[in-house]
Copies of this chain bind each other. A is one copy, B any other.
Amino acid sequence: MTQRVSIVENILNANDRLAEENRTRIQSAGVFSINIMASPGAGKTSLIEQTLSRLNGKLRVATIDGDIATSIDADRAAAAGAQAAIQINTGGDCHLDAVMLHGALEQLDLTLFDLLIVENVGNLVCPASFKLGTHKSVLVASVPEGDDKPYKYPGMYRGVDALVINKIDLLPYVTFRMDYFERGVQVLNPGVSTFPLSCRTGEGLDAWVDWLTDNAK
Protein backbone atom coordinates (compact mmCIF):
# COMPACT_ATOMS: atom_id res chain seq x y z
CA MET A 1 0.00 0.00 0.00
CA THR A 2 2.80 2.38 0.95
CA GLN A 3 4.56 1.49 -2.27
CA ARG A 4 1.46 2.19 -4.32
CA VAL A 5 1.03 5.59 -2.69
CA SER A 6 4.65 6.45 -3.34
CA ILE A 7 4.36 5.50 -7.03
CA VAL A 8 1.30 7.72 -7.34
CA GLU A 9 3.16 10.56 -5.61
CA ASN A 10 6.09 10.22 -8.00
CA ILE A 11 3.77 10.35 -11.00
CA LEU A 12 2.11 13.50 -9.66
CA ASN A 13 5.44 15.16 -8.85
CA ALA A 14 6.75 14.45 -12.34
CA ASN A 15 3.51 15.83 -13.75
CA ASP A 16 3.81 19.02 -11.69
CA ARG A 17 7.34 19.63 -12.90
CA LEU A 18 6.28 19.33 -16.51
CA ALA A 19 3.23 21.52 -15.81
CA GLU A 20 5.65 24.25 -14.69
CA GLU A 21 7.54 23.92 -17.97
CA ASN A 22 4.25 24.24 -19.85
CA ARG A 23 3.37 27.33 -17.83
CA THR A 24 6.71 28.99 -18.58
CA ARG A 25 6.27 28.29 -22.26
CA ILE A 26 2.72 29.68 -22.39
CA GLN A 27 3.59 32.64 -20.17
CA SER A 28 6.64 33.68 -22.14
CA ALA A 29 4.59 33.73 -25.33
CA GLY A 30 2.22 36.24 -23.68
CA VAL A 31 -0.75 33.89 -23.83
CA PHE A 32 -3.47 33.60 -21.16
CA SER A 33 -4.60 30.00 -20.68
CA ILE A 34 -7.46 28.17 -18.99
CA ASN A 35 -8.17 24.50 -18.26
CA ILE A 36 -11.90 23.79 -18.54
CA MET A 37 -13.14 20.77 -16.58
CA ALA A 38 -16.63 19.30 -16.15
CA SER A 39 -18.74 16.15 -16.13
CA PRO A 40 -19.49 14.63 -19.51
CA GLY A 41 -22.16 16.74 -21.16
CA ALA A 42 -22.11 19.75 -18.82
CA GLY A 43 -21.39 21.95 -21.82
CA LYS A 44 -17.64 22.56 -22.07
CA THR A 45 -17.65 22.53 -25.86
CA SER A 46 -20.83 24.61 -26.08
CA LEU A 47 -19.23 27.17 -23.76
CA ILE A 48 -16.16 27.32 -25.99
CA GLU A 49 -18.35 27.75 -29.08
CA GLN A 50 -20.38 30.56 -27.49
CA THR A 51 -17.23 32.22 -26.14
CA LEU A 52 -15.60 32.20 -29.59
CA SER A 53 -18.75 33.59 -31.14
CA ARG A 54 -18.90 36.47 -28.63
CA LEU A 55 -15.18 37.22 -28.81
CA ASN A 56 -15.72 37.57 -32.54
CA GLY A 57 -12.02 37.75 -33.33
CA LYS A 58 -11.21 40.19 -30.49
CA LEU A 59 -8.73 37.63 -29.15
CA ARG A 60 -6.78 35.11 -31.20
CA VAL A 61 -7.75 31.75 -29.72
CA ALA A 62 -6.22 28.27 -29.79
CA THR A 63 -8.08 25.31 -28.31
CA ILE A 64 -6.73 21.95 -27.21
CA ASP A 65 -9.49 19.38 -26.70
CA GLY A 66 -9.06 16.17 -24.76
CA ASP A 67 -11.32 13.17 -25.22
CA ILE A 68 -11.13 9.41 -24.98
CA ALA A 69 -12.08 9.17 -28.64
CA THR A 70 -13.23 11.21 -31.68
CA SER A 71 -12.33 14.72 -32.85
CA ILE A 72 -15.88 16.04 -32.41
CA ASP A 73 -14.83 18.76 -29.95
CA ALA A 74 -11.88 20.13 -31.90
CA ASP A 75 -14.02 20.14 -35.05
CA ARG A 76 -16.69 22.15 -33.22
CA ALA A 77 -14.12 24.64 -31.86
CA ALA A 78 -12.58 25.12 -35.31
CA ALA A 79 -16.01 25.62 -36.88
CA ALA A 80 -16.83 28.19 -34.18
CA GLY A 81 -13.80 30.30 -35.05
CA ALA A 82 -10.77 29.02 -33.12
CA GLN A 83 -7.66 29.95 -35.13
CA ALA A 84 -6.19 26.56 -34.15
CA ALA A 85 -7.91 23.50 -32.66
CA ILE A 86 -5.90 20.46 -31.63
CA GLN A 87 -7.54 17.23 -30.50
CA ILE A 88 -5.84 14.98 -27.99
CA ASN A 89 -7.27 11.46 -27.86
CA THR A 90 -6.23 9.95 -24.55
CA GLY A 91 -7.05 6.36 -25.50
CA GLY A 92 -8.37 5.13 -22.20
CA ASP A 93 -7.09 7.86 -19.91
CA CYS A 94 -9.78 9.73 -18.00
CA HIS A 95 -7.94 13.05 -17.77
CA LEU A 96 -5.38 15.21 -19.50
CA ASP A 97 -1.95 15.48 -17.91
CA ALA A 98 1.02 17.79 -18.37
CA VAL A 99 2.72 15.35 -20.77
CA MET A 100 -0.25 15.37 -23.12
CA LEU A 101 -0.47 19.17 -23.02
CA HIS A 102 3.28 19.39 -23.62
CA GLY A 103 2.88 17.31 -26.77
CA ALA A 104 0.00 19.43 -28.00
CA LEU A 105 1.90 22.69 -27.35
CA GLU A 106 4.66 21.39 -29.64
CA GLN A 107 2.17 21.65 -32.49
CA LEU A 108 1.36 25.32 -31.84
CA ASP A 109 3.24 28.54 -32.50
CA LEU A 110 2.03 30.18 -29.29
CA THR A 111 3.15 33.65 -30.36
CA LEU A 112 0.19 33.69 -32.78
CA PHE A 113 -2.42 33.59 -29.97
CA ASP A 114 -3.79 35.61 -27.04
CA LEU A 115 -5.88 32.91 -25.40
CA LEU A 116 -5.37 29.16 -25.05
CA ILE A 117 -8.43 27.16 -24.02
CA VAL A 118 -7.75 23.59 -22.90
CA GLU A 119 -10.84 21.40 -22.72
CA ASN A 120 -10.23 18.47 -20.39
CA VAL A 121 -11.83 15.00 -20.56
CA GLY A 122 -15.37 14.93 -19.17
CA ASN A 123 -14.79 13.77 -15.58
CA LEU A 124 -15.40 15.36 -12.16
CA VAL A 125 -12.68 13.39 -10.37
CA CYS A 126 -9.24 12.80 -11.86
CA PRO A 127 -8.62 15.98 -13.90
CA ALA A 128 -8.50 17.86 -10.56
CA SER A 129 -5.33 15.94 -9.58
CA PHE A 130 -3.29 16.68 -12.70
CA LYS A 131 -1.98 20.21 -13.15
CA LEU A 132 -1.45 21.12 -16.77
CA GLY A 133 0.34 24.46 -16.41
CA THR A 134 -2.53 26.71 -17.45
CA HIS A 135 -3.12 30.02 -15.62
CA LYS A 136 -6.65 29.33 -14.40
CA SER A 137 -8.85 26.30 -13.85
CA VAL A 138 -12.51 26.59 -14.75
CA LEU A 139 -15.25 24.18 -13.72
CA VAL A 140 -18.45 23.98 -15.75
CA ALA A 141 -21.29 22.72 -13.57
CA SER A 142 -24.68 22.14 -15.12
CA VAL A 143 -28.16 22.56 -13.66
CA PRO A 144 -29.56 19.14 -14.74
CA GLU A 145 -26.60 17.42 -13.01
CA GLY A 146 -28.18 18.31 -9.70
CA ASP A 147 -27.39 20.56 -6.76
CA ASP A 148 -25.41 18.02 -4.70
CA LYS A 149 -22.29 17.92 -6.86
CA PRO A 150 -20.08 20.22 -4.69
CA TYR A 151 -20.71 17.88 -1.76
CA LYS A 152 -19.95 14.74 -3.75
CA TYR A 153 -16.95 15.99 -5.75
CA PRO A 154 -15.18 18.30 -3.28
CA GLY A 155 -11.72 17.90 -4.81
CA MET A 156 -12.89 19.37 -8.10
CA TYR A 157 -14.87 22.26 -6.59
CA ARG A 158 -12.08 23.14 -4.15
CA GLY A 159 -9.37 23.63 -6.73
CA VAL A 160 -10.90 25.88 -9.40
CA ASP A 161 -10.53 29.62 -10.05
CA ALA A 162 -13.87 30.11 -11.74
CA LEU A 163 -17.18 28.26 -11.74
CA VAL A 164 -19.63 28.37 -14.64
CA ILE A 165 -23.16 27.15 -13.86
CA ASN A 166 -24.48 26.21 -17.30
CA LYS A 167 -28.00 25.36 -18.52
CA ILE A 168 -29.81 27.79 -16.23
CA ASP A 169 -32.57 27.80 -18.87
CA LEU A 170 -33.49 24.32 -17.52
CA LEU A 171 -34.08 25.60 -13.95
CA PRO A 172 -37.88 25.57 -14.38
CA TYR A 173 -37.88 21.91 -15.43
CA VAL A 174 -35.59 20.26 -12.85
CA THR A 175 -35.09 20.27 -9.11
CA PHE A 176 -32.04 22.43 -8.43
CA ARG A 177 -31.82 24.41 -5.19
CA MET A 178 -29.37 27.17 -6.09
CA ASP A 179 -28.88 28.15 -2.43
CA TYR A 180 -27.98 24.57 -1.44
CA PHE A 181 -25.56 24.31 -4.35
CA GLU A 182 -23.92 27.66 -3.57
CA ARG A 183 -23.61 26.84 0.13
CA GLY A 184 -21.60 23.75 -0.81
CA VAL A 185 -19.42 25.79 -3.16
CA GLN A 186 -18.74 28.51 -0.57
CA VAL A 187 -17.51 26.01 2.03
CA LEU A 188 -15.02 24.52 -0.43
CA ASN A 189 -14.02 27.57 -2.39
CA PRO A 190 -15.11 30.82 -0.73
CA GLY A 191 -15.51 33.75 -3.08
CA VAL A 192 -14.82 31.80 -6.27
CA SER A 193 -15.86 33.77 -9.38
CA THR A 194 -19.20 32.30 -10.41
CA PHE A 195 -21.01 32.67 -13.74
CA PRO A 196 -24.57 31.33 -13.99
CA LEU A 197 -25.39 31.20 -17.71
CA SER A 198 -27.05 29.38 -20.55
CA CYS A 199 -25.13 28.47 -23.68
CA ARG A 200 -28.52 27.80 -25.28
CA THR A 201 -30.19 31.18 -24.67
CA GLY A 202 -27.05 33.28 -24.25
CA GLU A 203 -28.12 34.58 -20.81
CA GLY A 204 -25.16 35.39 -18.58
CA LEU A 205 -22.50 34.79 -21.23
CA ASP A 206 -21.34 38.41 -21.36
CA ALA A 207 -20.10 38.40 -17.74
CA TRP A 208 -18.11 35.23 -18.43
CA VAL A 209 -16.57 36.62 -21.62
CA ASP A 210 -15.71 39.85 -19.77
CA TRP A 211 -13.88 37.85 -17.07
CA LEU A 212 -11.94 36.00 -19.74
CA THR A 213 -11.10 39.13 -21.69
CA ASP A 214 -9.99 41.01 -18.55
CA ASN A 215 -7.69 38.14 -17.62
CA ALA A 216 -6.28 37.86 -21.14
CA LYS A 217 -5.22 41.50 -21.25
Interface residues of A (CB under 8 A from B): 7, 39-41, 67-70, 72, 92-94, 121-126, 129, 142, 144-146, 148-149, 151-155, 167, 169-170, 173-174, 200
Task: Tell whether, in the assembled complex, residue B152 and residue A67 are in contact, meaning their CB atoms are under 8 Å apart.
Answer: yes
Task: Tell whether, in the assembled complex, residue A40 and residue B70 are in contact, meaning their CB atoms are under 8 Å apart.
Answer: no
Q: A39 contacts which chain B residues (CB < 8 A)?
A: 39-41, 122, 145
* Additional pairs, 10, CB under 8 Å, beyond known A40-B152, A69-B152: A39-B40, A39-B122, A40-B124, A70-B148, A70-B152, A122-B124, A123-B124, A123-B125, A144-B170, A173-B173
**Most B CB atoms within 10 A — which of A125, A142, A169?**
A125
Q: A145 contacts which chain B residues (CB < 8 A)?
A: 39-41
Q: A154 contacts which chain B residues (CB < 8 A)?
A: 68-69
A122 with B170: in contact, given A142-B41, A145-B40 (CB under 8 Å)?
no
